[in-house]
Chain A
Amino acid sequence: MKKTVIYSQKLEKKFTSYKKKPGLLGSLKSLFVRDYITKKAVKDFDLDIKKGEIIGLLGPNGAGKTTLMKMFTGIVVPSQGTLKVLGYTPSERNKLFRKKIALVMGQKSQLWWDIPAMDSFLLLQRFYEIEETQFEKRIKTMSTLLDVEDLLHIHVRKLSLGERMKMELMASLIHSPEIIFLDEPTIGLDLISQENIRNFIKEYHQKNECTIIVTSHYMADVQALCERLVLIFDGDKTFDGPLSDFETILGKEKNVTFNFSSPQNTNLEVWKSYEAKWDPHHVQVDLRIPEEKLRSVALDILKEFPVTEFNTEKMPIERVMKTLMKNPQIVKQLNGKNGANVGTISTERE
């Protein structure tokens, strides 16, 4: 049994803010009378993360993912509940605890803007008390892996977003943390840079026995990195389980697309039984075929129709996520089943 590194029970965070009407009058009014609203960003959150796992925290904007990350790293203090990370209470911000964690924020630079990245690394070397030889070795390995050896001595403000992100990653990993929190590490990056960052994280995880918690809106990140997903909606945990379970949460059907060389009759029975969705020219159809029938149905279609191309869905997780975000009522159903390892829930197709 692997060691638990993050444990939370009934964790809760409330934020208080006030409503302000627009304009000068609104500003004046808000000087005297304020409508305070208390919002629970995270509610009754139970979580158990084991050493070495890569967990994806998913949810729409404002669901509470980042608040969770902030509580895990000790940046914000929980309002209620128990939270232990590596046996420490994060909000006490013990120095030993801080030496064992790292946080990468895709939307916020942690490097000093006006100096070269190497100077920041040297400072972090002192902060984390890293031995000279170790430090040099890590810088060399990571900069080679990320292909940034030539950029170490350039001012951070002169780097491109992709290059800066690589430096951010290096800065966060320089002390070989036991837990790495990645908050949207690929946001705003081009496809190649996204892939580079993903590959680096994957490789780093394989070589070092660390635990990684990642949030991202790019399902490709999640698909490539995470073995386990935790879904948050409106502060509640709605799913917690393996990626494969999440993919089939809305049904075990496979989405298959067929392209034909000529327009087809769309009224045939074969299409109707698999919830066909046609393009306007009737030369492309999306079908939803139960897993066990996939082979036979596909073979039949290939035999009977002039198929020029066919493929199965690459990222079912993206479809599932979209469906859940568009239909929050399904999330409630999931929630009713108590979150973890929920079974299949039938739903209408988008």
Chain B
Amino acid sequence: MVHVLKWWQTIKISWSNHTAYRMNFFLQIIGPALVFFFVKYNLWSSIYSDKSVEVIKGYTLSQMIDYHVWAMIVGLLAKGHSAMNLSEDIRLGRISSFLIYPFNFWEFHTASFLSFQILQTFIVSISICLFWSIGILSIPSMSILMTGFLYCLFVSCFWYTLQYLTGLIGFWLEETWILRVILEILTAFLSGAIIPLELYPKWFVSFLEWTPFPYLTYFPIKTFMGQNSELFTSYSVVTIWIIIFCFINHFIWKRGIRLYTGAGM
């Protein structure tokens, strides 16, 4: 019970921190939507406007738009969290106080992630309603929507462990943003966030299935679209990756903390 209270209070504090700046909060909702309209919607509309093109690898225009709206939703829900501050906190010695509190650094960080996810769920719900009300998103059914939500939240845990790892590298590297950018770009292309995986060669897709990438965007999108018949496999694969990354993070933290200098104090 005492532990639950610790976590709950931390989640509440992080929530206040996330929503402290109103403008920032609203931009989080509007930003991705604007990108979607200006880039993806226009791009695919003009590709399909060519009369000879009606279906691309099984996607009609409305299905393609659906795919990309869901990609945006998944991006917000499963891959929204960033450990951008983590490596900076390490480098600038800001984690010192967490080494002294009787609440571990990873616990604090995870609680902060959970509160971020609650916020994202809220933002995503508004976005879905918005896109659905203007008629460019079709929702198969309520139960599929819920299944998609749950799977996305699970994937977000995996994304979190991956982000946490890139943050911990801050113990060794003075700057980790370039690593983060590489990871973002790779993920964007290999996870199906930019174009559906069906557009890649078959052999490449079967190779990708051995990596965690498709589980970050492609499978969650398919779940939202009601086309993921292998939900159990999807959950199992993500679970395995989460366990692997938790172990790596634990090991890296143990090694890294020996190098920590608590700069700036």
A81 to B51, CA, bound (A): 78
Point out the residue from A77, A107, A110 that lies within 8 Å of B97, measured CB to CB: A110
Contact A74 to B102, CB < 8 A, known contacts A107-B265, A126-B9: no
**Cβ A115 vs Cβ B13 within 8 A:** yes
Q: Is A326 an interface residue (CB 8 A)?
A: no
- 0/1 per residue, A120-150, Cβ < 8 Å to B? 1011111111000000000000000000000
Q: Is A70 an interface residue (CB 8 A)?
A: yes
- 0/1 per residue, B38-64, Cβ < 8 Å to A? 000000000000000000000000000
B92 to chain A, nearest CB (A): 10
Chain A residues, Cβ within 8 Å of B16: 114-115, 119
A10 to B96, CA, bound (A): 24
Chain A residues, Cβ within 8 Å of B173: none
**Cβ A108 vs Cβ B96 within 8 A:** yes
**Cβ B99 vs Cβ A74 within 8 A:** yes
Q: How many residues of A contact B (CB 8 A)?
A: 34
Chain B residues, Cβ within 8 Å of A101: 100
| Most chain A CB within a 10 A radius of its CB, from B8, B9, B102 | B102
Contact A77 to B13, CB < 8 A, known contacts A105-B96, A127-B103: no
Q: Is B2 an interface residue (CB 8 A)?
A: yes
A110 to B102, CA, bound (A): 14
Q: Is B20 an interface residue (CB 8 A)?
A: yes
Q: Which residue of chain A has its CB nearest to the CB of B4?
A: A126
A317 to chain B, nearest CB (A): 25
Q: Is A153 an interface residue (CB 8 A)?
A: no
A65 to chain B, nearest CB (A): 11
- 0/1 per residue, A84-99, Cβ < 8 Å to B? 0000000001011011
A114 to chain B, nearest CB (A): 4
Chain A residues, Cβ within 8 Å of B264: 107-108
Q: Is B257 an interface residue (CB 8 A)?
A: yes
A108 to B93, CA, bound (A): 10
Q: Which residue of chain B has its CB nearest to the CB of A184?
A: B265
Q: How many residues of B contact A (CB 8 A)?
A: 27
**Cβ A75 vs Cβ B260 within 8 A:** yes
Q: Is A73 an interface residue (CB 8 A)?
A: yes
Chain B residues, Cβ within 8 Å of A95: 102
Contact A129 to B9, CB < 8 A, known contacts A15-B261, A73-B100, A103-B100: no
Chain B residues, Cβ within 8 Å of A126: 2, 5-6, 8-10
B259 to chain A, nearest CB (A): 9
A40 to B93, CA, bound (A): 20
**Cβ A66 vs Cβ B258 within 8 A:** no
Q: Which residue of chain B has its CB nearest to the CB of A109?
A: B97
Q: Is A286 an interface residue (CB 8 A)?
A: no
Contact A75 to B102, CB < 8 A, known contacts A70-B265, A114-B17, A183-B265: no
| Most chain A CB within a 10 A radius of its CB, from B10, B93, B262 | B262
Point out the residue from A66, A98, A119 that lies within 8 Å of B265, measured CB to CB: A66
B145 to chain A, nearest CB (A): 34
A103 to B97, CA, bound (A): 8
Q: Is A345 an interface residue (CB 8 A)?
A: no
A18 to chain B, nearest CB (A): 11
A77 to B261, CA, bound (A): 9
Q: Is B251 an interface residue (CB 8 A)?
A: no
Chain B residues, Cβ within 8 Å of A129: 2
Point out the residue from B260, B261, B265 that lies within 8 Å of A108, measured CB to CB: B265
Q: Which residue of chain A has its CB nearest to the CB of B16?
A: A115
Interface residue ranges of B1-49 to A (CB < 8 Å): 2, 5-6, 8-10, 13, 16-17, 20-21
**Cβ B17 vs Cβ A98 within 8 A:** no
Contact A98 to B13, CB < 8 A, known contacts A15-B261, A107-B264: no
Chain A residues, Cβ within 8 Å of B261: 15, 76
Point out the residue from B10, B17, B21, B262 that lies within 8 Å of A76, measured CB to CB: B262
**Cβ A77 vs Cβ B102 within 8 A:** no
Q: Is B101 an interface residue (CB 8 A)?
A: yes
A258 to B71, CA, bound (A): 83
Q: Which residue of chain B has its CB nearest to the CB of A76?
A: B262
A253 to B10, CA, bound (A): 58
Point out the residue from A70, A99, A115, A125 that lies within 8 Å of B262, measured CB to CB: A70
**Cβ A75 vs Cβ B101 within 8 A:** no
A91 to B86, CA, bound (A): 21
The 8 closest A-B pairs by CB, nearest first: A114-B20, A126-B9, A110-B97, A98-B102, A75-B262, A127-B103, A95-B102, A126-B6
Known: A93-B99, A114-B16, A126-B2. 18 other contacts (CB 8 A): A70-B96, A75-B260, A75-B265, A76-B262, A77-B260, A103-B100, A107-B265, A108-B93, A108-B97, A114-B17, A114-B21, A120-B13, A123-B9, A123-B10, A123-B13, A126-B5, A126-B6, A127-B101
A-B contact pairs, 7 of them (CB 8 A): A75-B100, A77-B258, A93-B99, A105-B265, A115-B17, A119-B16, A126-B2
